[in-house]
Structure 1
Amino acid sequence: MHSSWQFEVHGRRLAVMEWGDPQGMPVVALHGWLDNAASFTLLARHLPRIRLIALDLAGHGFSDHRAAGQPYYIWDNVADVQALLDELALDSVALLGHSMGAGVATLFAGAFPERVSRLLLLDGLTPLDYPAEQLPQQMAEALLKGTRLSRRSLRPYASFEQAVQARMNGRWPVSRAAACWLLERGLRQQPDGWVWRSDLALTRPSVVRLCEQQITAFVRRLTMPVLLVMAEQGIGMARVEPWLELMPSLELKVLAGGHHLHLEEEAAVRIAGWIGERLV
Protein backbone atom coordinates (compact mmCIF):
# COMPACT_ATOMS: atom_id res chain seq x y z
CA MET A 1 0.00 0.00 0.00
CA HIS A 2 1.09 3.55 -0.64
CA SER A 3 -0.10 7.03 0.18
CA SER A 4 -0.13 10.04 -2.11
CA TRP A 5 0.10 13.74 -1.40
CA GLN A 6 1.00 17.02 -3.06
CA PHE A 7 2.68 20.30 -2.26
CA GLU A 8 3.26 23.57 -4.09
CA VAL A 9 6.41 25.29 -5.30
CA HIS A 10 5.90 28.79 -6.71
CA GLY A 11 2.35 27.92 -7.66
CA ARG A 12 3.25 24.58 -9.25
CA ARG A 13 1.90 21.33 -7.83
CA LEU A 14 4.37 18.51 -7.23
CA ALA A 15 3.03 15.04 -6.47
CA VAL A 16 4.54 12.45 -4.14
CA MET A 17 4.07 8.72 -3.43
CA GLU A 18 5.07 7.17 -0.10
CA TRP A 19 5.50 3.58 1.02
CA GLY A 20 6.75 1.79 4.10
CA ASP A 21 7.10 2.73 7.75
CA PRO A 22 6.25 6.41 8.39
CA GLN A 23 8.73 6.28 11.30
CA GLY A 24 11.41 4.53 9.25
CA MET A 25 14.53 6.13 7.81
CA PRO A 26 13.42 8.49 5.02
CA VAL A 27 14.73 7.88 1.51
CA VAL A 28 13.79 10.32 -1.25
CA ALA A 29 13.52 8.61 -4.64
CA LEU A 30 13.88 10.27 -8.05
CA HIS A 31 12.70 8.48 -11.20
CA GLY A 32 14.01 8.45 -14.75
CA TRP A 33 13.02 10.39 -17.86
CA LEU A 34 9.36 9.90 -18.86
CA ASP A 35 8.77 7.58 -15.89
CA ASN A 36 7.12 8.65 -12.62
CA ALA A 37 7.15 7.93 -8.90
CA ALA A 38 5.54 4.50 -9.44
CA SER A 39 8.93 3.40 -10.80
CA PHE A 40 9.82 2.50 -7.19
CA THR A 41 6.76 0.32 -6.48
CA LEU A 42 8.64 -2.99 -6.58
CA LEU A 43 11.61 -1.78 -4.52
CA ALA A 44 9.20 -0.41 -1.92
CA ARG A 45 7.65 -3.87 -1.47
CA HIS A 46 11.06 -5.18 -0.44
CA LEU A 47 11.86 -2.23 1.85
CA PRO A 48 8.93 -2.19 4.32
CA ARG A 49 11.01 -0.75 7.18
CA ILE A 50 12.10 2.32 5.20
CA ARG A 51 10.01 5.42 4.56
CA LEU A 52 10.32 5.63 0.78
CA ILE A 53 9.27 9.03 -0.58
CA ALA A 54 9.11 9.22 -4.41
CA LEU A 55 8.63 12.51 -6.24
CA ASP A 56 6.92 12.93 -9.61
CA LEU A 57 9.43 15.27 -11.23
CA ALA A 58 7.95 18.32 -12.99
CA GLY A 59 6.10 17.37 -16.17
CA HIS A 60 5.78 13.72 -15.10
CA GLY A 61 3.01 11.71 -13.44
CA PHE A 62 0.62 13.83 -11.38
CA SER A 63 2.98 16.81 -11.05
CA ASP A 64 2.23 19.99 -12.96
CA HIS A 65 3.96 20.78 -16.22
CA ARG A 66 6.35 23.68 -16.37
CA ALA A 67 5.05 26.85 -17.98
CA ALA A 68 4.47 26.69 -21.74
CA GLY A 69 7.68 27.50 -23.55
CA GLN A 70 9.89 26.86 -20.51
CA PRO A 71 12.57 24.22 -21.22
CA TYR A 72 13.04 21.16 -19.03
CA TYR A 73 16.61 21.55 -17.81
CA ILE A 74 17.78 18.83 -15.46
CA TRP A 75 19.18 21.32 -12.95
CA ASP A 76 15.73 22.86 -12.40
CA ASN A 77 14.79 19.61 -10.65
CA VAL A 78 17.45 20.34 -8.02
CA ALA A 79 15.35 23.24 -6.71
CA ASP A 80 12.28 20.98 -6.56
CA VAL A 81 14.17 18.36 -4.54
CA GLN A 82 15.29 21.14 -2.19
CA ALA A 83 11.65 22.23 -1.86
CA LEU A 84 10.57 18.65 -1.07
CA LEU A 85 13.18 18.28 1.68
CA ASP A 86 12.12 21.62 3.12
CA GLU A 87 8.46 20.55 2.96
CA LEU A 88 9.36 17.38 4.87
CA ALA A 89 11.58 19.33 7.30
CA LEU A 90 14.46 16.97 6.58
CA ASP A 91 17.89 18.44 7.21
CA SER A 92 19.63 15.40 5.71
CA VAL A 93 18.36 12.43 3.72
CA ALA A 94 19.43 9.45 1.63
CA LEU A 95 18.73 9.99 -2.08
CA LEU A 96 17.77 7.14 -4.40
CA GLY A 97 17.88 7.90 -8.12
CA HIS A 98 17.34 5.96 -11.33
CA SER A 99 18.78 7.10 -14.67
CA MET A 100 17.89 10.81 -15.07
CA GLY A 101 16.89 10.78 -11.40
CA ALA A 102 20.41 9.61 -10.56
CA GLY A 103 21.75 12.65 -12.42
CA VAL A 104 19.43 14.92 -10.44
CA ALA A 105 20.55 13.25 -7.20
CA THR A 106 24.21 13.79 -8.09
CA LEU A 107 23.64 17.46 -8.87
CA PHE A 108 21.70 17.96 -5.62
CA ALA A 109 24.32 16.13 -3.54
CA GLY A 110 27.11 18.12 -5.16
CA ALA A 111 25.32 21.39 -4.50
CA PHE A 112 24.16 20.47 -0.98
CA PRO A 113 26.48 17.71 0.32
CA GLU A 114 25.51 18.52 3.90
CA ARG A 115 21.91 17.54 3.13
CA VAL A 116 22.66 14.10 1.64
CA SER A 117 23.71 11.30 3.99
CA ARG A 118 24.02 8.67 1.26
CA LEU A 119 23.52 8.29 -2.50
CA LEU A 120 21.88 5.17 -3.96
CA LEU A 121 22.11 5.33 -7.75
CA LEU A 122 20.60 2.89 -10.28
CA ASP A 123 21.98 2.68 -13.84
CA GLY A 124 22.95 6.32 -13.90
CA LEU A 125 25.30 8.77 -12.24
CA THR A 126 25.53 12.12 -14.03
CA PRO A 127 23.45 14.19 -16.44
CA LEU A 128 24.06 13.93 -20.16
CA ASP A 129 26.67 16.44 -21.27
CA TYR A 130 27.70 18.49 -24.32
CA PRO A 131 31.40 19.05 -25.02
CA ALA A 132 31.89 22.78 -24.47
CA GLU A 133 33.25 23.37 -27.97
CA GLN A 134 30.17 21.73 -29.51
CA LEU A 135 27.62 23.82 -27.61
CA PRO A 136 26.96 26.39 -30.40
CA GLN A 137 26.22 23.67 -32.97
CA GLN A 138 24.22 21.59 -30.47
CA MET A 139 22.20 24.65 -29.47
CA ALA A 140 21.30 25.42 -33.08
CA GLU A 141 20.31 21.81 -33.79
CA ALA A 142 18.27 21.55 -30.60
CA LEU A 143 16.38 24.79 -31.27
CA LEU A 144 15.55 23.77 -34.84
CA LYS A 145 14.45 20.29 -33.80
CA GLY A 146 12.50 21.71 -30.86
CA THR A 147 10.59 24.01 -33.20
CA ARG A 148 9.58 21.05 -35.34
CA LEU A 149 8.57 18.94 -32.34
CA SER A 150 6.47 21.77 -30.88
CA ARG A 151 4.08 21.32 -33.81
CA ARG A 152 3.70 17.61 -33.13
CA SER A 153 0.87 15.93 -31.26
CA LEU A 154 0.66 12.27 -30.27
CA ARG A 155 -2.16 10.02 -31.38
CA PRO A 156 -4.11 8.70 -28.36
CA TYR A 157 -4.05 5.00 -27.56
CA ALA A 158 -7.36 3.30 -28.27
CA SER A 159 -7.21 1.43 -24.96
CA PHE A 160 -5.19 1.20 -21.77
CA GLU A 161 -4.05 -2.25 -22.89
CA GLN A 162 -2.65 -0.84 -26.14
CA ALA A 163 -0.61 1.65 -24.11
CA VAL A 164 0.63 -1.13 -21.82
CA GLN A 165 1.86 -3.11 -24.82
CA ALA A 166 3.63 -0.04 -26.21
CA ARG A 167 5.39 0.59 -22.88
CA MET A 168 6.38 -3.05 -22.50
CA ASN A 169 8.06 -2.95 -25.92
CA GLY A 170 9.62 0.51 -25.75
CA ARG A 171 13.29 1.45 -26.04
CA TRP A 172 13.83 0.20 -22.48
CA PRO A 173 11.43 -2.77 -22.14
CA VAL A 174 9.69 -3.50 -18.84
CA SER A 175 7.44 -6.28 -17.57
CA ARG A 176 3.68 -6.11 -17.85
CA ALA A 177 3.33 -5.42 -14.12
CA ALA A 178 5.87 -2.59 -14.30
CA ALA A 179 4.17 -1.10 -17.35
CA CYS A 180 0.84 -1.10 -15.51
CA TRP A 181 2.34 0.60 -12.44
CA LEU A 182 3.90 3.32 -14.57
CA LEU A 183 0.86 3.87 -16.79
CA GLU A 184 -1.67 4.01 -13.96
CA ARG A 185 0.15 7.18 -12.98
CA GLY A 186 1.35 8.17 -16.44
CA LEU A 187 -1.82 8.08 -18.56
CA ARG A 188 -5.13 9.91 -18.52
CA GLN A 189 -8.32 9.08 -20.38
CA GLN A 190 -10.06 11.55 -22.66
CA PRO A 191 -12.99 11.10 -25.07
CA ASP A 192 -10.82 9.93 -28.00
CA GLY A 193 -8.60 7.56 -26.03
CA TRP A 194 -5.68 7.38 -23.59
CA VAL A 195 -2.90 9.99 -23.65
CA TRP A 196 0.31 10.57 -21.71
CA ARG A 197 0.17 12.85 -18.68
CA SER A 198 3.83 13.71 -19.19
CA ASP A 199 4.61 16.99 -20.92
CA LEU A 200 5.43 16.50 -24.61
CA ALA A 201 8.03 19.25 -24.16
CA LEU A 202 10.14 16.70 -22.24
CA THR A 203 10.94 15.02 -25.57
CA ARG A 204 12.53 18.13 -27.06
CA PRO A 205 16.35 18.12 -27.12
CA SER A 206 18.20 20.17 -24.50
CA VAL A 207 19.34 23.53 -25.85
CA VAL A 208 22.05 23.67 -23.17
CA ARG A 209 23.70 20.85 -21.22
CA LEU A 210 26.47 20.87 -18.66
CA CYS A 211 29.95 20.03 -19.93
CA GLU A 212 32.30 17.40 -18.48
CA GLN A 213 34.28 19.94 -16.45
CA GLN A 214 31.14 21.25 -14.76
CA ILE A 215 29.83 17.76 -14.00
CA THR A 216 33.23 16.81 -12.59
CA ALA A 217 32.99 19.71 -10.14
CA PHE A 218 29.74 18.25 -8.76
CA VAL A 219 31.06 14.68 -8.59
CA ARG A 220 34.16 15.80 -6.68
CA ARG A 221 31.87 17.01 -3.86
CA LEU A 222 30.28 13.55 -3.39
CA THR A 223 32.10 12.72 -0.17
CA MET A 224 29.12 10.80 1.26
CA PRO A 225 28.84 7.00 0.73
CA VAL A 226 27.70 6.23 -2.82
CA LEU A 227 26.20 2.91 -3.92
CA LEU A 228 26.11 2.72 -7.72
CA VAL A 229 24.28 -0.25 -9.24
CA MET A 230 24.73 -0.62 -12.99
CA ALA A 231 22.76 -2.94 -15.27
CA GLU A 232 24.56 -5.34 -17.60
CA GLN A 233 22.03 -4.48 -20.35
CA GLY A 234 21.60 -0.84 -19.35
CA ILE A 235 23.15 2.46 -20.38
CA GLY A 236 26.68 1.00 -20.34
CA MET A 237 29.69 1.48 -18.09
CA ALA A 238 31.25 3.95 -20.52
CA ARG A 239 28.72 6.54 -19.37
CA VAL A 240 29.92 6.45 -15.75
CA GLU A 241 33.58 5.40 -15.91
CA PRO A 242 35.06 8.93 -16.26
CA TRP A 243 33.83 9.81 -12.76
CA LEU A 244 34.26 6.61 -10.76
CA GLU A 245 37.68 7.45 -9.29
CA LEU A 246 36.50 10.88 -8.09
CA MET A 247 34.22 9.48 -5.36
CA PRO A 248 36.17 8.40 -2.24
CA SER A 249 33.33 6.32 -0.76
CA LEU A 250 32.02 4.56 -3.86
CA GLU A 251 30.66 1.00 -3.95
CA LEU A 252 30.06 -0.23 -7.50
CA LYS A 253 27.81 -3.21 -8.21
CA VAL A 254 26.88 -4.66 -11.61
CA LEU A 255 23.72 -6.76 -11.94
CA ALA A 256 22.15 -8.77 -14.72
CA GLY A 257 19.16 -6.90 -16.02
CA GLY A 258 18.01 -4.07 -18.23
CA HIS A 259 17.98 -0.32 -17.70
CA HIS A 260 14.91 -0.62 -15.43
CA LEU A 261 16.53 -3.35 -13.36
CA HIS A 262 14.81 -2.06 -10.19
CA LEU A 263 11.52 -3.13 -11.81
CA GLU A 264 12.79 -6.69 -12.35
CA GLU A 265 12.06 -9.02 -9.42
CA GLU A 266 15.44 -10.69 -9.01
CA ALA A 267 17.44 -7.48 -9.35
CA ALA A 268 15.00 -5.57 -7.13
CA VAL A 269 15.48 -8.10 -4.33
CA ARG A 270 19.26 -7.71 -4.57
CA ILE A 271 19.09 -3.92 -4.66
CA ALA A 272 16.64 -3.75 -1.76
CA GLY A 273 18.94 -6.03 0.24
CA TRP A 274 21.91 -3.74 -0.33
CA ILE A 275 19.89 -0.66 0.57
CA GLY A 276 18.48 -2.31 3.68
CA GLU A 277 21.96 -3.38 4.86
CA ARG A 278 23.16 0.21 4.67
CA LEU A 279 20.13 2.03 6.05
CA VAL A 280 18.17 -0.15 8.47
Structure 2
Amino acid sequence: MGVEEFTVAVPGGALAALRWPALEAGAPTVVALHGITANALAWGAVARELAGRVTLVAPDLRGRARSAVLPGPYGLARHAEDAALLLGAMAEGPVLLAGHSMGAWVAALTAVRHPALVSRLLLVDGGVSFPLPPGAGSDQALAAVLGPALDRLSMTFPDFAGYLDFWQRHPAWPSLDRSTVLPYLERDLAGSAPRLRSACVRAAVEADGAEVLLDQEAAAAVHRLPCPAELLWAERGLQDEPRGLYDEARLAGVQPAHRQVPDTNHYSVLMGAAGARSVAEHLLAAAGAG
Protein backbone atom coordinates (compact mmCIF):
# COMPACT_ATOMS: atom_id res chain seq x y z
CA MET A 1 0.00 0.00 0.00
CA GLY A 2 1.43 3.37 -1.00
CA VAL A 3 1.83 6.59 0.93
CA GLU A 4 -1.24 8.82 1.25
CA GLU A 5 -1.40 12.63 1.37
CA PHE A 6 -3.86 14.44 3.65
CA THR A 7 -4.23 17.75 5.47
CA VAL A 8 -5.30 18.92 8.92
CA ALA A 9 -6.76 22.32 9.70
CA VAL A 10 -4.41 24.53 11.74
CA PRO A 11 -4.32 28.28 12.35
CA GLY A 12 -3.72 30.00 9.02
CA GLY A 13 -4.64 27.09 6.75
CA ALA A 14 -3.92 23.39 6.31
CA LEU A 15 -0.98 21.36 7.55
CA ALA A 16 0.11 18.81 4.92
CA ALA A 17 0.96 15.29 6.04
CA LEU A 18 1.80 11.84 4.72
CA ARG A 19 0.42 8.52 5.93
CA TRP A 20 1.98 5.11 5.35
CA PRO A 21 -0.93 2.82 6.36
CA ALA A 22 -0.44 -0.38 8.32
CA LEU A 23 -1.14 -3.63 6.53
CA GLU A 24 -3.45 -4.85 9.29
CA ALA A 25 -6.37 -3.12 10.96
CA GLY A 26 -5.79 -2.16 14.56
CA ALA A 27 -2.03 -1.72 14.23
CA PRO A 28 -0.49 1.08 16.32
CA THR A 29 0.04 4.58 14.91
CA VAL A 30 3.33 6.48 15.08
CA VAL A 31 3.56 10.20 14.36
CA ALA A 32 7.00 11.45 13.28
CA LEU A 33 8.33 15.02 13.05
CA HIS A 34 11.20 16.05 10.77
CA GLY A 35 14.14 18.40 11.20
CA ILE A 36 14.60 22.11 10.66
CA THR A 37 15.16 22.19 6.87
CA ALA A 38 13.54 18.84 6.06
CA ASN A 39 10.08 17.57 5.10
CA ALA A 40 7.83 14.58 5.80
CA LEU A 41 9.71 12.30 3.38
CA ALA A 42 12.76 12.45 5.65
CA TRP A 43 10.99 9.48 7.27
CA GLY A 44 10.75 7.54 3.99
CA ALA A 45 13.59 5.12 4.77
CA VAL A 46 12.12 4.44 8.21
CA ALA A 47 8.69 3.85 6.63
CA ARG A 48 10.24 1.25 4.34
CA GLU A 49 11.82 -0.53 7.31
CA LEU A 50 8.55 -0.46 9.26
CA ALA A 51 7.03 -2.40 6.35
CA GLY A 52 3.41 -1.71 7.26
CA ARG A 53 3.65 -3.10 10.80
CA VAL A 54 2.43 0.27 12.13
CA THR A 55 0.75 3.26 10.53
CA LEU A 56 3.33 6.02 10.17
CA VAL A 57 2.15 9.63 9.90
CA ALA A 58 4.59 12.46 9.15
CA PRO A 59 3.63 16.11 8.58
CA ASP A 60 5.43 18.80 6.64
CA LEU A 61 5.97 21.26 9.47
CA ARG A 62 4.83 24.86 9.05
CA GLY A 63 7.07 26.69 6.57
CA ARG A 64 8.28 23.52 4.80
CA ALA A 65 7.34 21.65 1.60
CA ARG A 66 3.54 21.38 1.17
CA SER A 67 3.05 23.38 4.41
CA ALA A 68 5.26 26.24 3.21
CA VAL A 69 2.17 28.40 2.53
CA LEU A 70 1.20 28.41 6.20
CA PRO A 71 1.97 31.82 7.70
CA GLY A 72 4.01 32.69 10.77
CA PRO A 73 4.56 33.25 13.52
CA TYR A 74 6.84 30.24 13.55
CA GLY A 75 8.72 28.76 16.50
CA LEU A 76 8.78 25.49 18.41
CA ALA A 77 5.64 26.24 20.40
CA ARG A 78 3.68 26.85 17.18
CA HIS A 79 4.93 23.54 15.76
CA ALA A 80 3.96 21.81 19.01
CA GLU A 81 0.44 23.20 18.75
CA ASP A 82 0.22 22.15 15.09
CA ALA A 83 1.41 18.67 16.08
CA ALA A 84 -1.22 18.52 18.82
CA LEU A 85 -3.94 19.36 16.30
CA LEU A 86 -2.67 16.57 14.05
CA LEU A 87 -2.66 14.11 16.95
CA GLY A 88 -6.14 15.18 18.02
CA ALA A 89 -7.52 14.87 14.49
CA MET A 90 -6.55 11.21 14.36
CA ALA A 91 -8.87 10.52 17.32
CA GLU A 92 -7.02 7.35 18.29
CA GLY A 93 -6.01 8.24 21.82
CA PRO A 94 -2.39 8.81 22.86
CA VAL A 95 0.20 7.69 20.30
CA LEU A 96 3.94 7.19 20.02
CA LEU A 97 5.51 10.47 18.91
CA ALA A 98 8.96 10.60 17.30
CA GLY A 99 11.13 13.50 16.22
CA HIS A 100 14.45 13.94 14.45
CA SER A 101 16.73 16.93 15.05
CA MET A 102 14.48 19.99 15.57
CA GLY A 103 11.53 17.63 15.42
CA ALA A 104 12.80 16.02 18.64
CA TRP A 105 12.53 19.36 20.48
CA VAL A 106 9.03 19.81 19.04
CA ALA A 107 8.04 16.27 20.05
CA ALA A 108 9.24 16.77 23.62
CA LEU A 109 7.46 20.12 23.87
CA THR A 110 4.25 18.59 22.47
CA ALA A 111 4.35 15.86 25.11
CA VAL A 112 4.83 18.39 27.92
CA ARG A 113 2.09 20.69 26.68
CA HIS A 114 -0.38 17.93 25.70
CA PRO A 115 0.38 14.86 27.81
CA ALA A 116 -2.96 13.20 27.05
CA LEU A 117 -2.04 12.95 23.36
CA VAL A 118 1.36 11.25 23.67
CA SER A 119 2.01 7.76 25.06
CA ARG A 120 5.77 7.53 24.44
CA LEU A 121 8.57 9.47 22.76
CA LEU A 122 11.46 8.49 20.52
CA LEU A 123 13.94 11.34 20.06
CA VAL A 124 16.47 10.96 17.25
CA ASP A 125 19.64 13.08 17.48
CA GLY A 126 17.86 16.03 19.04
CA GLY A 127 15.79 17.25 21.96
CA VAL A 128 18.63 17.83 24.43
CA SER A 129 20.05 21.36 24.41
CA PHE A 130 23.64 22.29 25.14
CA PRO A 131 25.41 25.62 25.69
CA LEU A 132 26.57 27.75 22.76
CA PRO A 133 30.31 28.36 22.40
CA PRO A 134 31.45 31.42 24.37
CA GLY A 135 30.66 34.63 22.48
CA ALA A 136 28.57 32.92 19.79
CA GLY A 137 25.24 34.50 18.91
CA SER A 138 22.30 32.53 17.55
CA ASP A 139 22.97 33.60 13.92
CA GLN A 140 26.58 32.45 13.99
CA ALA A 141 25.74 29.24 15.81
CA LEU A 142 22.90 28.43 13.41
CA ALA A 143 25.15 28.97 10.40
CA ALA A 144 27.90 26.85 11.95
CA VAL A 145 25.53 23.98 12.76
CA LEU A 146 23.46 23.91 9.57
CA GLY A 147 26.13 24.94 7.07
CA PRO A 148 25.12 24.06 3.47
CA ALA A 149 21.56 23.22 4.56
CA LEU A 150 21.10 26.90 5.44
CA ASP A 151 23.00 28.16 2.37
CA ARG A 152 20.66 26.40 -0.02
CA LEU A 153 17.65 28.45 1.17
CA SER A 154 19.07 31.45 -0.72
CA MET A 155 20.04 29.50 -3.85
CA THR A 156 18.22 28.72 -7.09
CA PHE A 157 18.71 25.68 -9.32
CA PRO A 158 18.06 25.23 -13.06
CA ASP A 159 16.53 21.78 -12.65
CA PHE A 160 16.39 18.79 -10.33
CA ALA A 161 19.76 17.58 -11.62
CA GLY A 162 21.31 20.84 -10.42
CA TYR A 163 19.75 20.43 -7.00
CA LEU A 164 20.93 16.84 -6.84
CA ASP A 165 24.45 17.98 -7.74
CA PHE A 166 24.37 20.40 -4.81
CA TRP A 167 23.43 17.63 -2.39
CA GLN A 168 25.94 15.17 -3.81
CA ARG A 169 28.71 17.48 -2.60
CA HIS A 170 27.41 17.29 0.99
CA PRO A 171 29.74 15.25 3.25
CA ALA A 172 26.81 13.17 4.52
CA TRP A 173 25.63 12.22 1.01
CA PRO A 174 27.50 8.88 0.63
CA SER A 175 25.76 7.50 3.72
CA LEU A 176 22.18 8.26 2.59
CA ASP A 177 19.72 5.77 1.12
CA ARG A 178 19.28 6.74 -2.54
CA SER A 179 15.88 5.13 -3.07
CA THR A 180 14.21 7.29 -0.42
CA VAL A 181 16.35 10.45 -0.46
CA LEU A 182 15.53 11.31 -4.09
CA PRO A 183 11.75 11.68 -3.46
CA TYR A 184 12.64 13.62 -0.31
CA LEU A 185 14.70 16.09 -2.35
CA GLU A 186 11.96 16.42 -4.98
CA ARG A 187 9.48 17.33 -2.26
CA ASP A 188 11.80 20.10 -1.12
CA LEU A 189 11.76 21.93 -4.47
CA ALA A 190 9.39 24.79 -5.32
CA GLY A 191 9.09 27.30 -8.15
CA SER A 192 9.71 26.70 -11.84
CA ALA A 193 12.77 25.89 -13.92
CA PRO A 194 15.24 27.45 -14.38
CA ARG A 195 14.75 29.05 -10.93
CA LEU A 196 13.86 26.17 -8.66
CA ARG A 197 14.45 26.74 -4.95
CA SER A 198 14.03 25.02 -1.63
CA ALA A 199 10.44 25.00 -0.37
CA CYS A 200 11.69 25.81 3.15
CA VAL A 201 10.77 29.35 4.22
CA ARG A 202 13.98 30.98 5.42
CA ALA A 203 12.17 33.08 8.05
CA ALA A 204 10.74 29.87 9.52
CA VAL A 205 14.16 28.20 9.66
CA GLU A 206 15.76 31.24 11.29
CA ALA A 207 12.99 31.65 13.88
CA ASP A 208 12.93 27.95 14.70
CA GLY A 209 16.70 27.66 14.79
CA ALA A 210 17.05 30.49 17.28
CA GLU A 211 14.57 28.74 19.57
CA VAL A 212 16.30 25.37 19.32
CA LEU A 213 19.43 27.09 20.53
CA LEU A 214 17.98 29.55 23.04
CA ASP A 215 14.33 28.89 24.00
CA GLN A 216 14.11 27.95 27.69
CA GLU A 217 10.76 26.17 27.49
CA ALA A 218 11.96 23.96 24.64
CA ALA A 219 15.27 23.25 26.39
CA ALA A 220 13.46 22.27 29.59
CA ALA A 221 10.92 19.99 27.91
CA VAL A 222 13.16 16.90 27.80
CA HIS A 223 13.65 17.20 31.58
CA ARG A 224 9.88 17.42 32.28
CA LEU A 225 8.52 14.60 30.15
CA PRO A 226 5.23 13.08 31.34
CA CYS A 227 5.77 9.79 29.47
CA PRO A 228 8.49 7.21 28.80
CA ALA A 229 11.11 8.34 26.28
CA GLU A 230 14.27 7.18 24.56
CA LEU A 231 16.97 9.13 22.73
CA LEU A 232 18.99 7.70 19.85
CA TRP A 233 22.07 9.72 18.94
CA ALA A 234 24.35 9.64 15.92
CA GLU A 235 28.05 8.93 16.29
CA ARG A 236 29.01 11.73 13.86
CA GLY A 237 27.82 15.26 13.08
CA LEU A 238 25.87 17.13 10.39
CA GLN A 239 28.90 17.43 8.14
CA ASP A 240 29.97 13.87 9.00
CA GLU A 241 32.43 15.27 11.56
CA PRO A 242 33.93 12.71 13.96
CA ARG A 243 32.11 14.35 16.88
CA GLY A 244 28.34 14.31 16.73
CA LEU A 245 25.85 16.60 18.42
CA TYR A 246 25.97 14.39 21.50
CA ASP A 247 28.32 12.28 23.53
CA GLU A 248 28.10 10.70 26.96
CA ALA A 249 29.33 13.89 28.64
CA ARG A 250 26.63 16.04 27.05
CA LEU A 251 24.00 13.45 27.93
CA ALA A 252 25.10 12.97 31.54
CA GLY A 253 22.11 13.37 33.81
CA VAL A 254 19.58 13.37 30.98
CA GLN A 255 16.41 11.60 32.03
CA PRO A 256 15.48 9.63 28.86
CA ALA A 257 17.39 6.42 28.22
CA HIS A 258 19.88 7.10 25.46
CA ARG A 259 22.07 5.06 23.15
CA GLN A 260 24.39 5.71 20.26
CA VAL A 261 23.62 4.43 16.76
CA PRO A 262 27.13 3.48 15.59
CA ASP A 263 28.54 4.54 12.22
CA THR A 264 25.83 7.14 11.52
CA ASN A 265 25.83 10.90 11.13
CA HIS A 266 23.05 13.39 11.83
CA TYR A 267 21.40 12.66 8.48
CA SER A 268 22.08 8.96 8.01
CA VAL A 269 20.74 8.10 11.48
CA LEU A 270 17.34 8.71 9.87
CA MET A 271 17.91 8.57 6.10
CA GLY A 272 20.62 5.93 5.79
CA ALA A 273 19.85 2.22 5.58
CA ALA A 274 21.44 1.21 8.89
CA GLY A 275 20.15 4.24 10.79
CA ALA A 276 16.60 3.86 9.45
CA ARG A 277 16.65 0.19 10.42
CA SER A 278 17.69 1.04 13.97
CA VAL A 279 15.06 3.78 14.31
CA ALA A 280 12.37 1.47 12.94
CA GLU A 281 13.34 -1.31 15.37
CA HIS A 282 13.07 1.09 18.32
CA LEU A 283 9.73 2.42 17.08
CA LEU A 284 8.31 -1.09 16.72
CA ALA A 285 9.51 -2.04 20.19
CA ALA A 286 8.09 1.12 21.73
CA ALA A 287 4.79 0.68 19.89
CA GLY A 288 4.53 -2.97 20.86
CA ALA A 289 4.42 -4.07 17.22
CA GLY A 290 6.33 -7.04 15.91
TM range (shorter): 0.7 to 0.9
SS in 2 for 1:273: helix
Letter in 2 for 1:42: A
Letter in 2 for 1:100: M
Q: How has the CA–CA distance of structure 1 residues 259 and 237 changed in structure 2, closer, same or farther, with 3 Å as cutoff?
A: closer
Q: Please state how far the C-alpha of 1:214 moved relative to its aligned partner.
A: 4.1
In terms of mean alpha carbon deviation, does 155-164 or 208-217 score higher? 208-217
Alignment TM-score, normalising by the size of structure 2: 0.78
Distance 2:155 2:219 in 1: 41
In terms of mean alpha carbon deviation, does 237-246 or 227-236 score higher? 237-246
Q: Does 1:23 align with 2:29?
A: no
Q: Please state how far the C-alpha of 1:191 moved relative to its aligned partner.
A: 4.5
Equivalent residue number for residue 154 of structure 1: 154
Letter in 2 for 1:222: L
Structure 1 portions without partners, runs of 5+: 143-151
Residues 141-165 of structure 1 deviation map (CA, whole Å, 9 limit, x = unaligned) = 99xxxxxxxxx98342111011112
Q: Does 1:45 align with 2:48?
A: yes
Paired residues of 1:110 and 1:220 also in contact (CA < 8 A)? no
In terms of mean alpha carbon deviation, does 90-99 or 29-38 score higher? 90-99
Equivalent residue number for residue 89 of structure 1: 91
Q: Does 1:57 align with 2:58?
A: no
SS in 2 for 1:125: coil
Residues 233-256 of structure 1 deviation map (CA, whole Å, 9 limit, x = unaligned) = 136254785565242x52424321
Paired residues of 2:160 and 2:186 also in contact (CA < 8 A)? no
% same residue? 29
Equivalent residue number for residue 185 of structure 2: 183
Alignment TM-score, normalising by the size of structure 1: 0.81
Paired residues of 1:119 and 1:224 also in contact (CA < 8 A)? yes
Distance 1:240 1:9 in 2: 38
Which of residues 89, 92, 113 is equivalent to 2:115?
Answer: 113
Equivalent residue number for residue 12 of structure 2: 11
Equivalent residue number for residue 168 of structure 1: 168
Residues 198-232 of structure 1 deviation map (CA, whole Å, 9 limit, x = unaligned) = 21223436566675864564223224221211111
Q: Does 1:259 align with 2:261?
A: no
Distance 1:72 1:38 in 2: 21
Distance 1:141 1:232 in 2: 24
Paired residues of 1:227 and 1:250 also in contact (CA < 8 A)? yes
Q: How many residues align?
A: 265
Distance 2:106 2:258 in 1: 19
Residues 161-198 of structure 1 deviation map (CA, whole Å, 9 limit, x = unaligned) = 11112123336534543431212211134143322222
Structure with higher strand content: 1
SS in 2 for 1:233: coil
Equivalent residue number for residue 147 of structure 1: none
Q: How has the CA–CA distance of structure 1 residues 15 and 102 changed in structure 2, closer, same or farther, with 3 Å as cutoff?
A: same
Q: Does 1:218 align with 2:221?
A: yes
Please give the root-mean-square deviation of Cα atoms over the aligned residues, in Å: 3.2
Structure 2 portions without partners, runs of 5+: 142-151, 239-243
Q: Does 1:276 align with 2:280?
A: no
Paired residues of 1:106 and 1:126 also in contact (CA < 8 A)? no
Distance 1:215 1:153 in 2: 25
Q: Please state how far the C-alpha of 1:39 moved relative to its aligned partner.
A: 0.5
Letter in 2 for 1:122: V
Q: How has the CA–CA distance of structure 1 residues 98 and 89 changed in structure 2, closer, same or farther, with 3 Å as cutoff?
A: same
Letter in 2 for 1:158: P
Q: How has the CA–CA distance of structure 1 residues 156 and 251 changed in structure 2, closer, same or farther, with 3 Å as cutoff?
A: closer
Q: Please state how far the C-alpha of 1:27 moved relative to its aligned partner.
A: 0.6
Larger radius of gyration: 1
Distance 2:31 2:113 in 1: 16
Q: How has the CA–CA distance of structure 1 residues 212 and 159 changed in structure 2, closer, same or farther, with 3 Å as cutoff?
A: closer
Q: Please state how far the C-alpha of 1:5 moved relative to its aligned partner.
A: 0.7
